[in-house]
A and B are shown apart, each in its own frame.
Chain A
Amino acid sequence: MRRYVVIWFRHLKTDWMVRRQPELKDVPFVMAAPEKGRMVIKAANMAARAKGIDTDMVVADCRALLPALQVFDDKPELAGKLLHALAEWCLRYTPVAAIDRHDGLILDVSGCPHLWGGEKPYLEDMVTKLQGFGYDVRAAIADTIGAAWAVCHYGKASWAVEPCRQLEALLPLPPAALRLETTILERLEKLGLCQIGSFINMPRKALRRRFGVSILSRLDQALGQQLEAMQPVHPVEPYQERLPSPEPVRTAGGIEVALKLLLEKLCQRLAREEQGLRKCLFKCYRVDGVLQQIEIGTSRPSQNVVHLFRLFELKIATIEPALGIEVFTLEAPVIEDNRPIQDALWNFTEGGNGTAIGELLDRIAGRLGVHTIHRYFPDEHYWPERSVKLAGSVSERPQTCWRKDLPRPIHLLPRPEAIEVTVAIPDYPPMLFIYKGELHKVCKADGPERIEQEWWLQQGQYRDYYCVEDENGARYWLYRAGSYEQGDPKWFIHGFFA
């Protein structure tokens, strides 16, 4: 004998809002979304309902009714997410829980209520806990989903339908309790059939002819003559593997074997589900109760055992086994989709193997730190120090082109160094300059190229850049900060040309 529970969240979204913002509890508020050029109410709380505001009304009209009405944006996917989370929460009552449309849950509780001492305490426990969360819920239990749904939504007094008593329970309820389409409901109403009891005993042929086949199947489902399928939710199992060892492990070799076994198991599962891990934790539980753990991160989702093992290998030495390790666990707290199609993003160079480069960078980042890896994109600034920016990832492509028309030195000093010059004023390149005690005679020179300060970022003198070549053929990038008209400007060397 199967038993089903249907839980109806009467104000799911607004209750959730009140949970997040308790000060909204007694304030009339609605959640609205634009529809055909106006804001239409999708959910209203009890306080708003008491003032005559209901769903599908237009916000402007409601504001006229109730100027103090608060309006929030509706989140269309919120209900689904909340119900999924609640269904997972309900798995403590039964292993099979499903979502019922947009405001309810269906639980297959066959064989569960006796663990709570009967159906009444079972249901009471469930309802009080959910109400404790702040949700306004109704629940009912019956032999079929249809009957439980009908009693839950339209039943007046009773919360439970005795086994095999669906028919009696259904008779006084309105036809809407059968989850029929609105067109059928309207037709039934037109004919004056306001209770299920008034048409349930009609010949099936006549019902089918007048109302279609769906009314018959809904009746059969409610009465238990037809099976109704439900789609139970599957909670995501945490990506975690565990390996107890019969004898405490004390050697690096033993740890490596354990790690390999765990990685293989985890990666098999990741491969099956087309996922890749971005972060992985290897925990060793020691005999004396101390937890030792090492952690790795990857630059892109990976399910490659060899690569992950190499990343871990660099850190195995930091584990102190002491008296021995009895349990190993491997967790992947951060995972991402790793579909084969993503390779296309990487291989922007023909024949380039992005995965191999990514794995190399992971090893480098694992040993030397991720801050050591740099890749540069052009930035739209003339100021030399600001003309490059760091790229976010290896797969990223630059948004703008590199400029080739301006001379830029192949070596740029991190900080310009002061030099002494002999120069014809006002704006000629130097004839001589002394850099680090060495005299350079300038033979050829280009310039100046004036680069102004970006005043919105930094205040100061502009720079006049000169490319100069000395008598030995060495090429330098020098600049004068400011002009001779405004005093005595300083000269600097900023780079070396090839």
Chain B
Amino acid sequence: MQSAKQDIIQQLHKEVLGIQRLKKSAGLTLDTGLWDAGNAFPDQTFPLGAVHEFISNAKEDAAATNGFMAGLIKQLIKRGMAIWVSSKRTLFPPALSVFGIEPERIIFIDLWRQKEVLWAIEEALRCDALAAVIGELSELSFTESRRLQLAVEQSRVTGFIHRYNPRSENVTACVSRWKIKPIASDIGDVPGMGFPRWNVQLQKIRNGTPGRWQIEWSAGQFRHIPGQSWSITEFPKRKTG
């Protein structure tokens, strides 16, 4: 009886995913490393062909966020090129090779106006020849995010939107919302700085379970620091009315 119920629920889950066009693309999965975030995602895989939102508030957080994004993009970019749209970009291309990306595979579009950034992101998301599209901007309204989501539904390109210092953390149509903060690295008693280590917070994920992990980037992949992670079971309180 219990298992039959489970089956029905799983079946319904799959149908819902189908309706939301979050079907697994054939042969396209993102191995996010050793960490157990798999359970957090719908269908146990990192959703591709969707727009992910990253929020950072300080310069240090922005650097950590870009590092974490670069680690995710590393696996996507093996199949092609990516476009990085930003205004006031401070990203230093050679550092991407630390995260396993050949920097020449990324085409940077450097703009000034917010409107132009959005237009370029949307246009790039419509191009199915790209492996990934990264956009750096601060404000993204719900309508704008829906436009981006509609664009990726056609092309199945994965989009990463990095919002630096947004005025408000408004609701968007993005499939997930992440917050990355750097935490102290650890290499034991040896003096010096260790591998980059982050506090990764998955605040929102459609059809998944939000969670929080401590992740380290070492030997070209994500490594989960055990004992520090937990799933956020209770939803953060929202203002209503």
Contacts and interface: CB of A to CB of B under 8 A. Distances in A.
Interface stretch (A109-117, A280-288, A350-358): A350-358
A391 interface: yes
Contact of B90 (A350, A367, A414): A414
A412 interface: yes
The binding surface of chain B is classed by DSSP as mixed
B182 A444 contact: no
A465 B60 CA distance: 18
Interface in A376-399: 376-378, 384, 387-388, 391, 394, 397-398
B108 A374 contact: yes
Nearest to A412: B92
Nearest to B67: A498
Contact of B184 (A368, A402, A403, A443): A443
Contact of B107 (A374, A387, A444): A374
B194 interface: yes
Contact of B96 (A353, A410, A443): A410
A444 B193 contact: yes
B105 A349 contact: yes
A469 B193 contact: yes
Interface string B75-105: 0000111010000001111111111001111
Contact of A498 (B59, B102, B184, B217): B217
Contacts of B66: 410-411, 498
B31 interface: no
A360 B182 contact: no
Contacts of B81: 349, 352, 357, 394
Given A360-B127, A498-B67, A498-B196, A411 B59 contact: yes
Interface string A412-450: 111000000000000000000000000000011110000
B129 interface: yes
Interface residues of A, number: 57
B46 interface: no
Given A376-B93, A475-B193, A410 B63 contact: yes
A356 B3 CA distance: 48
B175 interface: no
B193 A356 contact: no
Nearest to B119: A367
Contacts of B107: 357, 361, 373-375, 394
A375 B92 contact: no
Contacts of A469: 184-185, 193
Contacts of B104: 375-377, 391, 397-398
A473 B184 contact: yes
Contacts of B80: 349, 351-353
Interface in B188-208: 191-194, 196-198
B225 to A, nearest CB: 12
Contacts of B92: 384, 388, 408-412, 495
A387 to B, nearest CB: 6
B106 interface: yes
A475 B58 CA distance: 12
Contacts of A391: 104
Contacts of A474: 58, 60, 64, 182
Nearest to B111: A372
Nearest to B127: A360
Contacts of A498: 63-64, 66-68, 70, 95, 98-99, 182, 196, 198, 217
Contacts of A360: 83, 123-124, 127, 129-130
A272 interface: no
B116 interface: yes
Nearest to B181: A473
Task: Pick from B59, B129, B198 the residue with the most CB of A within 10 Å.
Answer: B129
Contact of B191 (A350, A363, A367, A444): A444
Contacts of A402: 94, 97, 102-103
Interface of A: 349-357, 359-361, 363-364, 367-368, 372-378, 384, 387-388, 391, 394, 397-398, 402-404, 408-414, 443-446, 467-469, 471-476, 495-498
13 contacts: A349-B79, A352-B129, A356-B127, A359-B127, A363-B123, A368-B116, A372-B111, A374-B110, A376-B103, A410-B66, A410-B98, A474-B58, A498-B63
Given A409-B95, A412-B92, 14 more contacts: A351-B79, A352-B131, A360-B130, A363-B123, A367-B116, A367-B119, A368-B120, A388-B93, A402-B97, A403-B94, A413-B90, A414-B90, A468-B193, A498-B217
Q: Which 10 A-B pairs have the closest CB atoms?
A: A498-B67, A474-B60, A353-B129, A356-B129, A412-B92, A496-B63, A352-B80, A473-B183, A473-B184, A410-B95
